[in-house]
Amino acid sequence: MRVGMFLNYAGGFRDTADEVAELEAAGVDLVMVPEAYSFDAVSQLGFLAARTSTITLASGILQLYTRTPTLTAMTAAGLDYVSDGRFELGIGASGPQVVEGFHGVRYDAPVGRIREIVDVCRMTWRREPVVHQGRNYRIPLPAGEGTGLGKPLKLINHPVRERIPITVAALGPKSVEQTAEIADGWLPMFFHPERAAGTWGAALAAGAVKRDAGLAPLDVFASPALAITDRPDAAAAAIAAVKPQLALYIGGMGARGKNFYNDLIAGYGFEADAARIQDLYLDGRKEEAAAAVPDELVGAISLIGPTSHVAERVDAFRQAGVTSLAVTPLARTSAERLALMTGFRALVG
């Protein structure tokens, strides 16, 4: 099982690069750089590539709508080049709040867009003439659109690899099925080991049947919060620290009746809690919404508690099929994060 860590996308690059170099020396396998509405992920990934030598660098995630498929392919090839083949491309739909509200781009057809981006990326990296055949980008363009001068072109540069790993963030059944069919990795949010098979098992199985035999087994990611402590008060504080983010997603990332994360948590068996959290959050009572997040839910999707308990939960994630743990360490300083991740690396083995 790979051990990795999500970086804080709201921070600066230089201090983060120093920290990642220390994580690399401690044996951490990968770091993931999110992209929300702060600095872009690509700049930080390029900066990290120059300051590290062995650790895997991944985007976690680049949004489907903010770059054309070909630009995504070019960007990934460039990052793979500057990192000497250490880059993994993480892509996902994000949500309408970010895509439409921040970028001003229509949020539509995420499943079709994912397939097209994967196809175009692999076509580009093989240095084949790029032919867009998807719903959103087509050559030739429909009658009356474009100049009529467009033609398929191939990447000028020779990529370091013609098969850069692609991880897809997916939650819905159709998207998860497609991910299991075409992607190298799958990144679900709020992974619950005991509920994963019931939530996604059928979709994963359906996709696996159609999976190309040339693809390696699907790399399954989980991204739990991490706090290893023998002190009950510290564990309680860590659980409390996770709740505002959960409340944001369950309550605020979408409208009533159209919130992917709320549906997920309801499907885990917390239907009444999910409804209450959403009602409170959308009414502007964010602190009450966070307080309404059940401790049981936080404990199930996180790695919080004594070493023995965390080890048991790591085994639960492993038994549920997780092959990469990209954690969010609950620590205040770089030194604390390094110590926590070093201990966690040794615990996972």
Reported as a single tens digit per residue, the pLDDT across 24-62 is 999 999 999 999 888 999 999 999 999 999 999 999 999
Query: Position 80: which residue type?
Result: D
- Domain ranges, ordered by start, for the chain: 2-227+306-348, 231-305
**Cα(180)–Cα(186) distance, integer angstroms:** 7
More confident site: 196 or 147? 196
Question: With 90 as the cut, is the pLDDT of residue 142 above it?
Answer: no
Say which DSSP state 256 is in: T
Query: Cβ distance 222 to 191 under 8 Å?
Result: yes
* Model confidence band, residue 71 (pLDDT cutoffs 50, 70, 90): very high
Of the candidates 167, 170, 181, which has an alpha carbon nearest to the alpha carbon of residue 260?
170
Query: Cβ distance 63 to 35 under 8 Å?
Result: yes
**Which helix (H) or strand (E) segment is 71 a member of?**
helix 69-82
Q: Kindly report the average pLDDT of the chain as a whole number.
A: 94
Out of 113-117, 277-281, 286-290, least confident range: 113-117
Question: Which region holds residue 273: left if phi is over 0, alpha if psi is between -120 and 50, else beta?
Answer: alpha
**Cα(117)–Cα(232) distance, integer angstroms:** 46
CB under 8 Å to 65, separation ≥6 — which residues? Answer: 93, 94, 99, 103, 105, 106, 107, 113
* Model confidence band, residue 176 (pLDDT cutoffs 50, 70, 90): very high
- Strands, E, within the chain: which ranges? 2-6, 30-33, 56-59, 62-63, 87-92, 166-169, 185-187, 219-222, 225-228, 303-305, 324-329
Question: Which region holds residue 146: left if phi is over 0, alpha if psi is between -120 and 50, else beta?
Answer: left
Q: Considering the chain, what percentage of its residues have pLDDT values greater than 70?
A: 96
What pLDDT does residue 177 have?
98
What pLDDT does residue 269 have?
98
Q: Give me the residue label for tokens 């700049």.
A: 43
Question: With 90 as the cut, is the pLDDT of residue 299 above it?
Answer: yes
Query: Cβ distance 214 to 245 under 8 Å?
Result: no
Question: With 50 as the cut, is the pLDDT of residue 210 above it?
Answer: yes
Q: Could you tell me the pTM of the whole model? A: 0.95
**Cα(252)–Cα(283) distance, integer angstroms:** 10
* Model confidence band, residue 139 (pLDDT cutoffs 50, 70, 90): very low
**Cα(259)–Cα(95) distance, integer angstroms:** 9
* CATH tag, 2-227+306-348: 3.20.20.30
* Model confidence band, residue 313 (pLDDT cutoffs 50, 70, 90): very high
* Model confidence band, residue 138 (pLDDT cutoffs 50, 70, 90): very low
Question: With 80 as the cut, is the pLDDT of residue 136 above it?
Answer: no
| Mean pLDDT in residue range 133-157 | 69
CB under 8 Å to 268, separation ≥6 — which residues? Answer: 192, 195, 199, 297, 300
| Mean pLDDT in residue range 235-263 | 95
Query: Cβ distance 32 to 5 under 8 Å?
Result: yes
Question: With 90 as the cut, is the pLDDT of residue 146 above it?
Answer: no
Q: Give me the residue label for tokens 């000028």.
A: 156
- Tokens for 3, please give them: 């051990």
Query: Position 283: which residue type?
Result: D
- Tokens for 38, please give them: 């702060």
Beta-bridged to residue 228, according to DSSP, are: 305
What pLDDT does residue 108 have?
87
